[in-house]
């Protein structure tokens, strides 16, 4: 395979493998982003809307997630260049609530979302 064919194939695969950032009806991004530690209960109220659309979130990139949900509260690097984004749903720093709930997203080394979990601590 010559270089030109390889570049054409790579460009086509890159173009068609991208998914647009999904639209989630009723999801208020500004409220989600404003309740950064989950103290106001806005993230907890919006979580069911996200959970209902988890299939639409599969294989989107970290950039698209940040566009949708804002910067994560915590970012964790894992083995084999995998990454976890943690979004505080409730019980964050400065909250009166004791139980912490975290929405955790796992990304592959190729920057695709592969796993979503709600963790209660």
Residues in a beta bridge with 115: 106
Neighbours of 59 (CB within 10 A): 16
In this structure, is residue 3 part of a structural domain?
no
**Average confidence (pLDDT) over 12-16:** 47
pLDDT greater than 90 at residue 10 = no
Beta-sheet strands, E only, within 59-100 = 74-77, 83-90
- Say what the pLDDT of residue 15 is: 47
In this structure, is residue 8 part of a structural domain?
no
Model pTM score: 0.81
In this structure, is residue 54 part of a structural domain?
yes
**Average confidence (pLDDT) over 101-109:** 96
Q: Which residue range forms the structural domain that includes residue 58?
A: 27-120
């Amino acid at each position: 395979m010559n270089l030109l064919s390889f570049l054409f194939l790579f460009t086509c695969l890159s173009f068609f493998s991208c998914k647009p950032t999904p639209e989630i009806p009723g999801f208020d991004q500004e409220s989600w982003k404003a309740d950064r530690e989950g103290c106001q209960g806005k993230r907890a109220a919006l979580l069911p809307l996200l959970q209902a659309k988890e299939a639409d979130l599969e294989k989107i990139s970290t950039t698209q997630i940040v566009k949708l949900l804002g910067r994560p509260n915590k970012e964790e690097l894992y083995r084999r260049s995998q990454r976890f984004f943690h979004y505080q749903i409730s019980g964050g720093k400065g909250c009166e609530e004791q139980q912490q709930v975290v929405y955790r997203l796992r990304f592959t080394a190729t920057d695709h979302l592969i796993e979503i979990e709600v963790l209660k601590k």
